[in-house]
Structures are given as structure tokens and as C-alpha cells.
Structure 1
């Protein structure tokens, strides 16, 4: 029972982190039909910006609890600024192109941002461990868990609820769903599709940067973390169904629990099990578990 509890908690914590990343990725694809390869760079930028500012903040001897606001604020500002620059400066000229072309464009952006990160923050690792230790630890059934990880679950839940409410209970969310269903009809109805694209991309970029900031206190921030993350995020959204936020949640839970079980029971297959699950799901349901239906034009 102790091992089962450890698997469940570790799996849900890992799934919470994955969901925040994958939600932004699948939202951008659902609205804009862009499989954004650069999404991992937003994660890396958020992690570097948050870790760098937290390190500076604690060096000033300021109030420790405000470091959470510094961590999240720095990441969101950096992520939203870079997201706006990319969307307005490049992607808006590419809308309507083939999806393969958009993958190549965003992959080029990924490579550029990876080098830009090294130029700005260098190649030395960054550590922002202080917020992780501030919340202390909790013992359950003889096991010790960091309260910071439980906070991550709460934040992920709140983000999921906010996305559901925004998409289903607000006017802008309903307009967004119209664009998802048929962008040409949306334009004919007078909906400002360009503005919705910009807002959507900024939300996705913000979620990617936020995920980086929230996970920075629990690891060393090093070059290449964005590339590692985007592979996992793709696995999650493919399992859940491209364009589905609820699918991203289910996919994150499946991947998180499968990985946790492998880590505790068979550590040597930790990486393999994620892609084995993805292959199994796609063999049964090639479009993913909760793929958004596409309108067939006649």
C-alpha cells in the first residue's frame, strides 16, 4: 500500500506539471492549427527567467514568501513578451499555410530561441531551490512529500478549471469555439480572428512559461530542457487528442501514472513506457482519446 500511495502521488504530481505544458500546446493547435515546436522554448524561458529572478531576489535579503510572486511574475512577463514578438512579428504572416510548413517555421524558432537562451543566461545551470523548501514537507503513511508538489497539483487544477470556464461559460470562449469549428465562417460573421489568434498564442506561451517557472525550484535549469519537455508534451497531446484540453488532462494523467509506476517498479523502462502507452493508444484510436471533430467542407 505504501508503494501504491507513492506511485499515485508521484504520478499525479508529474501529470500536473505535464498538463500545464500540454494545455498551452493543445490550445494553440486547436485554435490556430499550429503544432508549435517552439513551445518547449517558452517553458525554458519561463524556467530561466523565474530561476534567475529568484536567485537575485534572495540575494537582496527580501521577504522569502514574496519569492513565489517573483518566480511566477518574471516567467509570465518573459513568456508573454516573447510570445507576442513571435506571433505579431512572424507567425501572423504565415497563417493559412500548410501545417507541415508551420511545423518547420516553429522548429526554426525553437532553434533560434535555444541559442538566444544561451546568449542571455549562459550555459551554467541555474538553481532556484528556495521556494521549494519554504513550504516544508508532509508525511503520509511513513512517506515524506514536499508540500510544493501538492501546491503544483492545486495550481494545475485551478488552471484546468479556468480553461474549462473560459471556453464554455464566457462570451470570448464561445467565440473561440466558433473559430475552432470554422475560421472562414467566423470571419464572415465579423469575428476578429486575428485578435483571437494573438490572444490564444499568448495564453499558450504564458502557460508554457508558467510551467517552466513552477518546475524550476525542483530541478537545475540547464540548456536543452525545452527540447526534452516538448517531446513529452507531444506525447501527452497525441494521447489525449490534438486540440482537446480535456484530452491533455487525461493524457497527462495516463503518462504521469505510467511513468511513476515504471520508476517505482521497473526503473530501466521509465522512458520506454511513455512511448509504449502512446503507441498502444494510437493503435486503438489513431486520432487520440478526445480528438476534436473537424468540420468536413463540401
Structure 2
């Protein structure tokens, strides 16, 4: 019984931060129709920036109020979104809207490579450790199992993020405008909607979610070069399983990947990486467009 509980909780923890990253990726695709490979680099920049800001916070006397390090984590994600979002969307991607999907993938892949080298120039190649926020919430006992409280805080953040994104799209006026742009940007433009502003806002929101995923996981891992590569590969698996552009699909996909990975780690460690793509292959065999793919209008 403890083994199944361990698999479930470990899978939930892994799925939580993965969902935060994946929902940003699927949001950008849903609005801009661009599969943004550079999303992984935004995650890594968020992790590096949060590690630097938390380190600076404790370096100037933050030990007197360690809880302020959580503010530094969120502030790092906001900073990355406000700087990198407009820079990439207005400075580059807007010139490729409506172009071939393969070209867009190549452009974002080029950005990904540039940002990976830029991070090495800025932060070097040595790993960063920012453990202080991870220890503040103590331990949580679940029967005979013990977990770090911070892990459950990440689950709570993922739930809040999912509800916030869903509510913003489905229960607000701005969200209705975004959905209109998703379904028909040309008609939305003729109705007076500022489509470029919607694109910019969606990309900044996606960049914030990527950076937030990096910020909340920075205390849990070693922040080092190559971080974005691993994340974007798994995030792609999540959004493909759930369906590109689907918020509920990102949640279900993250849960499937998280629990299957946890089961593999505990039962068959050799298949840890294989199991993620095995689950993706099984889903695509029966649902080639993903579990919650957007309905495509049939052209006559």
C-alpha cells in the first residue's frame, strides 16, 4: 500500500511543476499557433534568475525574514516575462505569423540555441543551488511516508495556476476576446479587436508560466546548463498527449506523464525515460490529435 501511495504522491509532485510549464506552452500555441521550442529556455532563465535573486536576497540580510525568498521567486518569474516576452514576440515572432509551421519551429529552435549559449555567458557553467526556500515549510507526514512541505506547495501553485488560466479564458471579458482570436483572428480584427495586443499578452503570459515553472523548481534541483533541453522535451510530450492548445489536456497529460514516470522509477528504473514516450505513443495510436485536441473546421 505504501508503494502505491508513494507512486501517486511522487507522480503528483512531478506533474505539478510540469503542468505549470506545459500550460504556458499550450497557451502560446492555442493563441499564436506557434510551437515555441524556446519555451524550455524561458523555463531555464526563470530558474537561473530566481536562484540569483534568492541568493542576492539572503546575501543582503534576508535571513532575518526568510519567507521573503518566496516573493523573490515570484518576482523573478515576473521579471523574466516582462523582459523576454515582449522582446521575443514583438522583436521576432510577429514577423512570422501566418507563415509555414516548420519555419516557425526552426525560428524558435534558433532562439532556443541562442538563449542556451546566452545563459552560459551570463551565469557560467557551474551549477546554482538555492535550497533555503525548500526547507522553510518543514516536512509533511502521510502515514509512514515523509515529504518536504515545499513539494505540496508546488502542487497547490499548479492548481491555482490551472484555475486562474481557465477562469481567465472562460469567465472574463478579456478571455472571451482571446477565445474569439483563437477561433478566427481575421474576423476578430474586423470587429475592432487589437489582435497584436492579444498575441503579445498571450506570449507574455506563456513566458511567465514557463519562468514560474523554473522559479518554483529551482529550490528543488541543481540549476545548471542543459536544464531547458530536458524540460521542453517532456513538456512537448505532455501537450501532445493532452492535445495542442488544450488547457484541460495539459493537466491530464501532466498527470499521465507524472504518475507513469513515478511508477517506472519505483518499479522499473531502467525504463524511466522510455515510459513517457511509450504513453505518448499509445495515446497517439488511438487519438492522433491528442486527448483534448481543438476541433478543426473542415475546409470545402
Identify the TM-score tier after normalising by the shorter chain.
over 0.9
1:287 lines up with 2:278 in the alignment = no
Which among 60, 71, 74 is matched to residue 72 of structure 1? 74
Structure 2 match to 1:214: 216
Structure 2 match to 1:25: 25
Structure 2 match to 1:276: 278
Distance in 2 between residues matched to 1:75 and 1:200, nearest whole Å: 15
Cα shift readout 1:16-56 (whole Å, capped 9, x = no counterpart):
11100000000000111100010000000000000011112
Residue 294 of structure 1 and its aligned partner are, at CA, apart by 2.0
Structure 2 match to 1:145: 147
| Structure 1 residue runs without a partner (length 5+) | none
What TM-score results when the alignment is normalised by the length of structure 2?
Answer: 0.98
Residue 191 of structure 1 and its aligned partner are, at CA, apart by 1.1
Structure 2 match to 1:58: 58
What TM-score results when the alignment is normalised by the length of structure 1?
Answer: 0.98
Residue 296 of structure 1 and its aligned partner are, at CA, apart by 3.0
1:112 lines up with 2:114 in the alignment = yes
Q: 1:229-244 counterparts in 2 under 5 A?
A: 229-244=231-246
Structure 2 match to 1:44: 44
Is the contact made by 2:8 and 2:262 (CA closer than 8 Å) also made in structure 1?
yes
Residue 80 of structure 1 and its aligned partner are, at CA, apart by 2.6
Which among 254, 258, 274 is matched to residue 256 of structure 1? 258
Residue 78 of structure 1 and its aligned partner are, at CA, apart by 1.9
Distance in 1 between residues matched to 2:122 and 2:237, nearest whole Å: 30
Distance in 2 between residues matched to 1:189 and 1:133, nearest whole Å: 52
Distance in 2 between residues matched to 1:100 and 1:158, nearest whole Å: 34
Is the contact made by 2:80 and 2:207 (CA closer than 8 Å) also made in structure 1?
no
Comparing 181-190 with 111-120, which one deviates more in the overlay? Answer: 181-190
Structure 2 match to 1:178: 180
Is the contact made by 1:238 and 1:278 (CA closer than 8 Å) also made in structure 2?
yes
Residue 247 of structure 1 and its aligned partner are, at CA, apart by 0.3
Is the contact made by 1:181 and 1:295 (CA closer than 8 Å) also made in structure 2?
no
Indicate the SS of the match to 1:64. Answer: coil
Distance in 2 between residues matched to 1:48 and 1:96, nearest whole Å: 33
Structure 2 match to 1:103: 105
Residue 233 of structure 1 and its aligned partner are, at CA, apart by 0.3
Give the paired residue count: 298
Distance in 2 between residues matched to 1:251 and 1:140, nearest whole Å: 26
- What is the alpha-carbon root mean square deviation over aligned residues? 0.9
Structure 2 match to 1:5: 5
Structure 2 match to 1:121: 123
Is the contact made by 1:258 and 1:273 (CA closer than 8 Å) also made in structure 2?
yes
Indicate the SS of the match to 1:145. Answer: strand
Residue 210 of structure 1 and its aligned partner are, at CA, apart by 0.3
Is the contact made by 1:47 and 1:215 (CA closer than 8 Å) also made in structure 2?
yes
Cα shift readout 1:220-251 (whole Å, capped 9, x = no counterpart):
00001001100000000000000001100000
Which among 221, 246, 249 is matched to residue 247 of structure 1? 249
Which among 225, 228, 235 is matched to residue 227 of structure 2? 225
Residue 93 of structure 1 and its aligned partner are, at CA, apart by 1.4
Distance in 2 between residues matched to 1:80 and 1:142, nearest whole Å: 44
Is the contact made by 1:241 and 1:288 (CA closer than 8 Å) also made in structure 2?
yes
Residue 60 of structure 1 and its aligned partner are, at CA, apart by 2.0
Distance in 2 between residues matched to 1:234 and 1:80, nearest whole Å: 24
Structure 1 match to 2:164: 162
